[in-house]
Structure 1
Amino acid sequence: MRSEYDEKKFNFVKASKPFFIFSIAITLLGILFLSVFGLNYGIDFRSGTSVDISISKPIDKETTEKFLSEHSFGDHSLTTSSNRLSIRFKDPLNEQQEKQFKTDFSKQLDDKASYEVNIVDADIAKEQQRNALIGMAVASLGIILYITIRFEWRFAVAAVIALLHDAFIVISLFSIFRWQVNLPFIVAVLTIIGYSTNDTVVIFDRIRENLRFAKLKTPADVALLVNRSIWQTLTRSINTVITVLLAAAALFIFGSESIRLFSLAMIIGLLSGAYSSIFIASPLWLLLRGKSVPNKKTAKAPSAS
Structure 2
Amino acid sequence: MSKLGAIGAKLHRGEVSYDFIGHRKFWFSLSAVLVIISLAGLFARGLALGIEFKGGVEYEAKVKVTDHTVQDFGDAVKATNAKDLGDPVVTTINNEKVRVQTKPLAQNDIGTVRAAIAKEAGIPAEQVTSQQIGASWGKQIADKAILALVVFLIAVFAVIWLYFREAKASMAAIIALIHDVTITVGLYALIGFDVTPATVIGVLTILGYSLYDTVVVFDKVRENTRGITGSNRYTYSDATNLAVNQTVVRSINTTVTALLPIGAILVVGTAVLGTGPLKDLSLALFVGVAIGAYSSIFIAPALLAVFKEREPGMQALNKRVTAKKAQIAAAAAAPVGVATAGAPAGAAARSDVQDTPRKADRATGSAPTPSSRPMKAAAAGRPQPTRKPRSKRGK
Question: Which TM-score bucket, shorter chain as reference?
Answer: 0.7 to 0.9
2:44 is equivalent to residue 33 of structure 1: no
- Structure 2 CA distance for aligned equivalents of residues 50 and 220 of structure 1: 63
1:42 to 40, 50, 73: 50
2:144 is equivalent to residue 135 of structure 1: no
1:105 to 110, 117, 135: 117
Check the 8 A contact 1:219/1:291 in 2, yes or no: no
2:207 is equivalent to residue 207 of structure 1: no
2:284 is equivalent to residue 265 of structure 1: yes
- Structure 2 CA distance for aligned equivalents of residues 114 and 245 of structure 1: 40
Give the match for residue 68 of structure 1.
77
How many Å apart are 1:279 and its aligned residue?
0.4
Matched residue type, 1:80: T
Q: TM-score, normalised by structure 1?
A: 0.84
How many Å apart are 1:239 and its aligned residue?
2.0
In structure 2, relative to structure 1, the CA distance for the partners of 1:288 and 1:260 (3 Å cut) is: same
Give the match for residue 27 of structure 2.
19
Q: How does 1:1-305 map to 2 (within 5 A)?
A: 6=14, 8-58=16-66, 60-73=69-82, 74-75=85-86, 76-80=88-92, 82-90=95-103, 92-93=104-105, 97-111=109-123, 117-151=130-164, 152-212=166-226, 217=231, 220-255=234-269, 256=273, 257-258=275-276, 259-292=278-311
Check the 8 A contact 2:236/2:308 in 1, yes or no: no
Check the 8 A contact 1:56/1:110 in 2, yes or no: no
How many Å apart are 1:54 and its aligned residue?
4.9
Aligned partner of residue 46 in structure 2, secondary structure: coil
Q: TM-score, normalised by structure 2?
A: 0.66
Q: Structure 2: 5+ residue runs without aligned partners?
A: 1-10, 315-395
In structure 2, relative to structure 1, the CA distance for the partners of 1:22 and 1:86 (3 Å cut) is: farther
How many Å apart are 1:104 and its aligned residue?
4.2
Check the 8 A contact 2:59/2:129 in 1, yes or no: yes
In structure 2, relative to structure 1, the CA distance for the partners of 1:231 and 1:108 (3 Å cut) is: same
Aligned partner of residue 207 in structure 2, secondary structure: helix
- Structure 2 CA distance for aligned equivalents of residues 233 and 70 of structure 1: 60
Q: Structure 1: 5+ residue runs without aligned partners?
A: 295-305
How many Å apart are 1:15 and its aligned residue?
2.7
Paired residues, what number? 290
In structure 2, relative to structure 1, the CA distance for the partners of 1:11 and 1:62 (3 Å cut) is: same
Larger radius of gyration: 2
**Higher normalized contact order (CA 8 Å, seq sep 6+, divided by chain length):** 1
In structure 2, relative to structure 1, the CA distance for the partners of 1:45 and 1:7 (3 Å cut) is: same
Aligned partner of residue 168 in structure 1, secondary structure: helix
How many Å apart are 1:237 and its aligned residue?
1.6
Check the 8 A contact 2:209/2:289 in 1, yes or no: yes
Q: What fraction of aligned residue pairs are identical, expressed as a percent?
A: 27
- Structure 2 CA distance for aligned equivalents of residues 216 and 27 of structure 1: 39
